[in-house]
Amino acid sequence: MANNDFQVLIDSDRIQKRVVELAQAISRDYQHRDLHLVGVLRGAYQFTHDLSGALEVPHSVDYISVASYGASTRSSGNVQLRMNVKYPVTGKDVLIVDDIIDTGTTLGWLMEYMESLRPSSLRTCCFLDKPSRRRLSLATDYVGFPIDDLFVVGYGLDYQEKYRELPFISWVSPREVLV
From 51, 101, 110, 122, residue interacting with ligand IMP (rule: CB under 6 A): 101
For the CB of residue 32, give the shortest distance to ligand IMP in the complex, in Å: 31
Q: Which is nearer to ligand IMP, 30 or 47 (CB)?
A: 47
How far apart (Å, rounded) are the C-alpha atoms in residues 55 and 58?
Answer: 8
Q: How far is the CB of 102 from ligand IMP (least distance, A)?
A: 3
Pairing of strands 169-171, 7-10: antiparallel
141 flagged as catalytic: no
* Binders in 38-67 for Mg ion, by CB under 5 A: 43
- Tell me if the bond preceding 42 is cis, omega within 30° of 0: yes
Residue facing Mg ion at closest CB distance: 43
Residue 115 CA neighbour count, 13 Å, CB half: 8
Whether the Cβ atoms of residue 153 and residue 159 lie closer than 8 Å to each other: yes
When asked if residue 129 is in the footprint of ligand IMP (CB under 6 A), the reply is: no
Which of 50, 98, 99, 102 is labelled catalytic?
Answer: 102
Catalytic residues: 102
